[in-house]
Chain A
Amino acid sequence: MEHILPWDLTVIPSRFFLFSGAAWYTVQITVLGVLLGMILGLIAAFGRLSSHRGLSGAARFYIFTIRGTPLLVQLFIIYYGLTSIVTIAPIPSAVIALGIHNGAYIGEVFRGAIQSIDYGQMEAARSLGMTHRKAMRRIVLPQAFKRAVPSLGNQLIIALKDSSLASAIAVPELMLKGRQMGSSSFMYMEMFIIVGIWYLMMTSVLSYAVHRVETRLKVSDRD
């Protein structure tokens, strides 16, 4: 084998599970980041849909700046840039940056989903005497969430891969582990193949899960 390829791929199985701790970090910062992103996204969506000028302007500004700048810049601003005011540890920094970053994208997903719900739904709810808020919560949002599931799943997969940037601020996740293992063994190719397989496994599980959720939600729908 060594004579054919310059790498020793046979080490992959034996080293593979040395990465499980790092993978767990990846999962955690991704999940927490996306949860934060959903909250921020919901706020951003309502902001943009609001008739209040200040609110919709603020939401627009948030989405514009975040989507127009790299996640790495946002990460560094939170981890390095803010040090003169607060020091935030690497893991919380990563979660916050991922949350703010994904919030902008998820906000647009939610906004699109809410706007895609036929206005007749809101009118029917209002004609029963529901307040706008209740009509949103009971009638529009449940349908909008359903419609947002595929895009949210997609965003979750992107976030999982984007979380690798947290290696740049020393979060001990998969990517950093790969770099450390590579430099200590000089087997960069082997180690990054392991890292790649880990990501691929996780994204595959996610796609499958999203697909399952989608089909389950389809039971009642289609009108």
Chain B
Amino acid sequence: MIVTDGTDTLHSSTEQSKKRQKKPTYGEVLRVEHIGKWYGDLHVLKDISLTVQTGEVVAIIGASGSGKSTLLRCLNFLEKSQKGEVYLQGRRIKHHEKQLNKLRQELGMVFQHFNLFPHMTVIQNVMEGPVQVKDMSKAKAKKLAARILEDVGLSDKTDVYPAMLSGGQKQRVAIARALAMDPKVMLFDEPTSALDPELVGEVLAVMEKLAKAGMTMLVVTHEMWFAREVADRVIFMDEGVILEEGDPETIFTAPKEERTLEFLKQVLPPQ
């Protein structure tokens, strides 16, 4: 992973201010406008608009059932919203198979339950996208996959099947699989929620490394530490709307909305 951001140019000595520095951004990469999504009569997403800048790390927090997963899934059209538009680098995505497949190549997705391909070895999982979707040669894909697996700390597991891995290792393979497509944005849907507590750290560490390397990330998470320390912006979702958003410090220390405060009280350990 090549570190591309210039976080350190405005150097400041204290820990506190260091992590609060804004990353330089290079314009919008992903934007959604007025997304409306219903499951039958259930109004799950209510007029959601959101713009993500290149290099930005956005954490999406909120109670279970507030529509976080659905929002992510509408971004890459695993779910089709009834209303609204998605723009990638300013270009509107048409609901057309070919365009959707192109869009999905640009949006890497990491699922709560990993969804690794169990009939393929670790390295085959990572090679599958480049070879099958980008027509990359096997030799080239193998090199690429080996390099990414090294980045996520799994060089020694390339030839085993997913069934042999721990949850944390599986999720790191899933991240590697998504990265192999060289996406513009990475979407994470509660990547650590299915993990035993002692395995959460290794996955978050990989994600943090990725964030530091300048990857644009949209992360649905219950790991408040990650939202607070790694994200550039935090979005609080409640009952299908973005109730509040802002920089992590503000959201965590001085939320404007009562509901945000309530939620944070529930998920954060008492001070």
Binding site for B on A (CB under 8 A): 118, 120-121, 123-131, 134, 138-139, 142-143, 146, 219-223
Contact = CB atoms under 8 A, between A and B. Distances in A.
A146 B181 contact: no
Contacts of A123: 78, 111, 115
Contacts of B258: none
A128 B78 contact: no
Contacts of A222: 118, 163
Contacts of B107: 127
Given A126-B104, A130-B133, A220-B161, 20 more contacts: A123-B78, A123-B111, A123-B115, A124-B117, A124-B174, A124-B177, A127-B76, A127-B178, A128-B129, A128-B178, A129-B101, A129-B102, A129-B133, A138-B128, A138-B132, A142-B119, A146-B119, A221-B119, A221-B163, A223-B162
Interface string B71-101: 0000010100000000000000000010001
Contacts of B57: none
Contacts of A128: 104-105, 128-129, 132-133, 177-178, 181
A219 B161 CA distance: 9
B157 interface: no
Contacts, number: 74
A118 B117 CA distance: 11
A131 B97 CA distance: 8
Contacts of A130: 101, 129, 132-133
Interface in B248-268: none
A129 B117 CA distance: 15
B45 interface: no
B115 A220 contact: no
Contacts of B102: 129
B207 interface: no
A223 B76 CA distance: 26
